[in-house]
Structure 1
Amino acid sequence: MIKEDVPVPAATEFMEALNSGNHLKLIREWGDVLFHTVFIREHPGLELPMLYSVDDHHSFLASPDANEVQEALQEHLVLAEDADVFVRAVPLRELARNAHMLGAWLNWFDAKIIMDSSLMELLGMKALVTLDDGQERLYQAKVYASPAVNKSGTSANVSAQIWKVSDIEGGAGLQRTREFFVYDDSKSFAFAENEGSILSSCKLSQLRAKEAMLFGTWASPVYNFEAVTKDAVREADHLVEDTYVPHPSLLDEALLDSFRELERAINNEIMPDARRLHLDVSKGQVFAELEEPGDDELDRVEGRKFCIVFDDHPEWCLWLGGDGLAVTDYSDEVWLPESPGRHEVRESLRLKIVRAIAWTLFWKGREPGSRVSLIPGQFAGLRPFRPDNLDRIFHPPLDDTRFPALASMPCGEQPLPVLVHGELPEGYVVEALEDLQVSAAELPRGTLRRDSLLLNGAVHFGSMCGPIVVPQTAIEFPDEWYTGIRTSNTQLISDLKAFLWDQSRVVPAPEKDPDDPGAVIGICLGIMAFLLVLVLVLG
């Protein structure tokens, strides 16, 4: 698993392992460390690591410290004015594999460490794997284009690998090294020689699951620097089809130029076609938006959870609404399917999702060079929900393309950024984009059921207060919020892709039998935690 929730590793730790000659320690502890790497978007469809010359060798620029990379971009590196530069987190082993295959080095520039070709081979083409028998083994690979014959009968070259596999004894020593030839037998019959000595061969279908994953990793394409030519640019321009159509907004069109560019990029690069998206509906235990008479608001009930999956990117996932929707909250107005399984995505829902993502990233990218941080449940406003000061469920209008929209809700001297999800007779339905504590006196005048929102005389937007309804007169659209310099769209899209990939690893908790001891203990602990928070808040 990629190590992304750990402290930034120190360069001294890396050098200690390197100088000690403990190569297994380097592979074991450093291969999965995320290195924040400087990328350049050459043109639509082609994003490559920035190359930096070190002793006449091309090098990737990277560091495990994202702040150091951003500082270097802003203060130290000299870039072309039109360079579309962004930062992407990549595991060190993947950077090293690409560098080795391309003959490049890696410059850990803030630590002044240069990783040469031998280190790139060590970290990129060697891996430690523990199989079902409990034995840890070191795998080393060399990738070749070997003579082969397709099963259709025509001759071709097939990507093949020569492996050396060694058993690890005592965590450090190598025993019983074996060398053999591995090829993908699903496509070709392959024959290989190693300097005249015929090796024993192994079919991909004969490998164990973890070994097959290794083969796939080492066989993956590398960064395509050869595509940076005029002919390739003309060809690649057609790789990303422009399906974007601007739709009406609450804002003056004169303020939307920058936003339209970002929305176009999200539309074209993330979800250009509803037919290539699906909505997965699963069962789960959720909190009801509307409690039935006699229900405890802390009780979970049967519900449905929703996830957008991408045909073109099966490694991505976008959860809608965080907690989901209770079965008891379904009505004729609910446009989300209730039956579990995979469903088509309406075009109107796709447009709504694109706009919600675009406005959220647009606000979060207001500080040039900053990384965007999204949280699970970030797009809860896309499904039906009950605003905290309303006694009925609000259904976001699918066909009204004006919503959502970024706006300001002045609260005293502090403007609160909000997404406006729609309008009701009582006013606009808004969701806070930042945490902010607002006193009762600073709430917009005429806010519906304002006392129900207060805790110790204040409203805790973002942390303890969800979407609310406010008078339309309480919402403003300051010109300066929609113009000016901000984080590049390329960086925002890269951060979004990382978020979508991370969301695919979030698996809904399995349903539990309420009579199961584990479920009872979990409910009791949840109630105790809630009471503890309540005691601390009320003091």
Structure 2
Amino acid sequence: MTSDISTQFSFTRFKQDLIKKDKRRLLSWANCELYVAFYRNASGQDLPGLIQVDSQQRYVASSSQDTLKKAMTNIKLEDDSKIVIKTLSLAELARNAHFYHLSIHLIDQDDGLAIGGVLMQLLGITAILEDAGGKEVIYEADVFSFEPEGNAETLPYGAVQYWRDIALEYTPDREPSEINSLYVFDDQLDWDNPLFPELPDNAKALSKLSSSAKAFFEHMRVPPLTSWEEKSATPDVPEPSYQNSLLGVSKLSTFNVLRAMVDQDIVPVADDIALTITKDSAHDDEPADSAERWEVKISFTTPMGFNAVFDPDWIEASLCKANTELPDTTGTHLASEKLRERIVNHLAWNFFQHVRSFVKTLFSTDLQGLLPGFIVNSYGPFQPDYTDERFPCLARFKCGENGVPVLLLGPNEGNYVCMPLAFEEIPESDVSPLIPRRSELISIESKSMPLAERYERLVIPASLIDFPGHWYQGIRVSNRYLKTKFIFGMHLNSLINEMGKDRATTAGNSLKWVVAGCAAAALIGVMVVMNL
């Protein structure tokens, strides 16, 4: 490798493509190699060098080794440590910047450029490939990591990836049937292992892909660079830890790590949880003497600083008034301590089911089943007992070959009140005659019992409920990944909620790339926002 690789990467031409907003041309720079500053500490560990500009942290890179060394000469280091220069492709550096929510500071002889945001997605996790028919397809990869992180018995980073079929240019007439997003998995691993998470339907084996697609998969599965402040996505489990007599200690060890994250990073103190209750307007097709209904919205700002927005629930006012842990009037109220504890457990068990699979979600329905409501195969309503610490919890409804994951919400005359956590159609022959009002649950058209995910409550005999060990002790998608996706989902839900308030029917699809022109020696820039 020579001391100058500017023939491979042209700062000037890259900047021109950026100004032109030419995504295809910008993507062509991804494989160019750059010199990148690393920090070698006293123990010999190399960490990517970061500079701080305002509140933004950036990797530092250049197409010229001499220019990069010169820029680093005034950096103050600890004793027995030094700056080392390594080469990485722009794609690899951008992939790590995207993973850690950082930017890249590109240095030229007398110029500088800070790039970040969606440009890191384009350069770091996007590829132009060909499908089986030789047609161009552009994929953006979402890579799964797994728990327990760093454990030899877990799945390797990137063993499963979700490839979104995207378009570099906006195409308003693109049909949904033309979008071919897919899950890709490493089929050299033993996916018959019951401890592995369940693969999505129609997931594609790596061995069946084209050579270019295989190369993209391998690029995306390389573990990220070590972070300066690498730490677990979850806090330590407090003592005494959460207990549940239905499950036992051995089935709760991994759940308790996830629950600690929800308790400390997601759900604030009770006084910061708002229940907004409004009277639901009567519908034209309802009798005049219909029971009063309330719309109940639960919202809060997480300890991490972002708003959590969930779908509202509609319940009869009398059910709310009858529960001592819930408000008995309309308006905005604060949660009780018992209700806060139930919210933590409700979210944690929903999250636990999410990380047992690869299903995409925005988390907006994860508080469904928390409040009182009616049961589809019972004549009476369900009134949760928020002092009963056994509920909610994950369980299996035994029907069919594999059973259906459900959230147990409470007891009901020898049965359990359950909420399905997956969309399923159970063949009539697999539906137990022990289920109350069984005939009313069977669809005449499909000859099956349809189950809606996080929508309805059922009473199921206790004899049809069990708790298979591998559901609680198996390998799961990592807490770090879950937290990242939850933050994204809540931001998107907040945006949708605001759009609803404004009665907006459309929203602009502008993307913002941050570009900074700055002096290389001083490493200080003036930020400019460009709308694409």
TM-score, normalised to structure 1, is 0.51
- Rounded Cα–Cα distance in structure 2 between residues aligned with 1:377 and 1:505: 16
User: For residue 518 of structure 1, what is the aligned residue in structure 2?
Assistant: none
The partner residue of 1:390 within 364, 378, 389 is: 378
The offset of 1:280, in angstroms, is: 3.4
The partner residue of 2:438 within 442, 450, 456 is: 450
The offset of 1:423, in angstroms, is: 0.5
User: For residue 342 of structure 1, what is the aligned residue in structure 2?
Assistant: 332
The offset of 1:56, in angstroms, is: 3.7
The answer to whether 1:409 aligns with 2:397 is yes
The answer to whether 1:351 aligns with 2:347 is no
The offset of 1:435, in angstroms, is: 0.8
- Rounded Cα–Cα distance in structure 2 between residues aligned with 1:400 and 1:30: 60
The partner residue of 2:91 within 95, 103, 108 is: 108
User: For residue 299 of structure 2, what is the aligned residue in structure 1?
Assistant: 308
The offset of 1:359, in angstroms, is: 1.5
Residue identity opposite 1:103 in structure 2: V
Q: How big is each residue's C-alpha offset from its partner over 1:472-519, in whole Å with a ceiling of 9 and x where there is no partner?
A: 11101111111122222222222223333333334285699xxxxxxx
Distance 1:110 1:343, change over 3 A: same
The answer to whether 1:460 aligns with 2:455 is no
- Rounded Cα–Cα distance in structure 2 between residues aligned with 1:30 and 1:382: 50
Alignment of 1:91-490 (within 5 A): 98=56, 101=58, 103=60, 107-109=90-92, 117=106, 121=113, 123=115, 242=238, 245-271=241-267, 273-275=269-271, 277-283=272-278, 285=280, 303-310=294-301, 312-313=303-304, 315-319=306-310, 322-327=312-317, 329-333=319-323, 335-367=325-357, 370=358, 373-456=361-444, 457-462=447-452, 466-490=456-480
- Rounded Cα–Cα distance in structure 2 between residues aligned with 1:20 and 1:104: 15
Distance 1:411 1:371, change over 3 A: closer
Contact 1:243–1:268 (Cα < 8 Å) also in 2: no
Contact 2:59–2:105 (Cα < 8 Å) also in 1: no
Contact 1:274–1:345 (Cα < 8 Å) also in 2: yes
- Rounded Cα–Cα distance in structure 2 between residues aligned with 1:511 and 1:123: 33
- Rounded Cα–Cα distance in structure 2 between residues aligned with 1:384 and 1:292: 21
Residue identity opposite 2:420 in structure 1: A
- Rounded Cα–Cα distance in structure 2 between residues aligned with 1:490 and 1:25: 36
Distance 1:255 1:21, change over 3 A: same
Distance 1:465 1:258, change over 3 A: closer
The offset of 1:440, in angstroms, is: 2.3
Structure 2 residue runs without a partner (length 5+): 1-9, 39-51, 63-88, 98-103, 120-226, 504-532
- Rounded Cα–Cα distance in structure 2 between residues aligned with 1:243 and 1:345: 24
The offset of 1:18, in angstroms, is: 7.0
Distance 1:334 1:487, change over 3 A: same
| Secondary structure of the structure 2 residue equivalent to 1:380 | coil
The partner residue of 2:36 within 57, 60, 72 is: 57
Contact 1:283–1:304 (Cα < 8 Å) also in 2: yes
Q: How big is each residue's C-alpha offset from its partner over 1:125-162, in whole Å with a ceiling of 9 and x where there is no partner?
A: 9x9xxxxxxxxxxxxxxxxxxxxxxxxxxxxxxxxxxx
Tell me which protein shows more helix as a share of its residues. 1
Q: Say what the alpha-carbon RMSD is for the aligned residues.
A: 4.9
The offset of 1:308, in angstroms, is: 2.3
The offset of 1:405, in angstroms, is: 0.8
Contact 1:249–1:403 (Cα < 8 Å) also in 2: no
| Secondary structure of the structure 2 residue equivalent to 1:247 | coil
Distance 1:311 1:20, change over 3 A: closer
Residue identity opposite 1:304 in structure 2: E
Distance 1:478 1:302, change over 3 A: closer
Distance 1:287 1:490, change over 3 A: farther
The offset of 1:383, in angstroms, is: 0.9
Residue identity opposite 1:307 in structure 2: I
Residue identity opposite 2:299 in structure 1: I
Q: How big is each residue's C-alpha offset from its partner over 1:441-485, in whole Å with a ceiling of 9 and x where there is no partner?
A: 212331111122122221111269722001111101111111122
Contact 1:287–1:326 (Cα < 8 Å) also in 2: no
| Secondary structure of the structure 1 residue equivalent to 2:482 | helix
User: For residue 160 of structure 1, what is the aligned residue in structure 2?
Assistant: none
Give the percent of matched residue pairs that are identical in Structure 1 and Structure 2.
Answer: 21
The offset of 1:406, in angstroms, is: 0.7
- Rounded Cα–Cα distance in structure 1 between residues aligned with 2:494 and 2:478: 25
Distance 1:429 1:371, change over 3 A: closer
Contact 1:107–1:113 (Cα < 8 Å) also in 2: no
- Rounded Cα–Cα distance in structure 2 between residues aligned with 1:242 and 1:385: 33
| Secondary structure of the structure 1 residue equivalent to 2:477 | coil
Contact 2:345–2:392 (Cα < 8 Å) also in 1: yes
TM-score, normalised to structure 2, is 0.51
- Rounded Cα–Cα distance in structure 1 between residues aligned with 2:265 and 2:229: 19
| Secondary structure of the structure 1 residue equivalent to 2:345 | helix
User: For residue 16 of structure 2, what is the aligned residue in structure 1?
Assistant: 21
- Rounded Cα–Cα distance in structure 2 between residues aligned with 1:113 and 1:401: 42
- Rounded Cα–Cα distance in structure 1 between residues aligned with 2:24 and 2:319: 48
| Secondary structure of the structure 2 residue equivalent to 1:466 | coil
Alignment of 1:6-85 (within 5 A): 21=16, 23-26=18-21, 55-58=34-37
Q: Larger relative contact order (C-alpha < 8 A, sep ≥ 6)?
A: 2
Q: How big is each residue's C-alpha offset from its partner over 1:316-371, in whole Å with a ceiling of 9 and x where there is no partner?
A: 12426x4332446544236432544432221211221111222222222125xx47
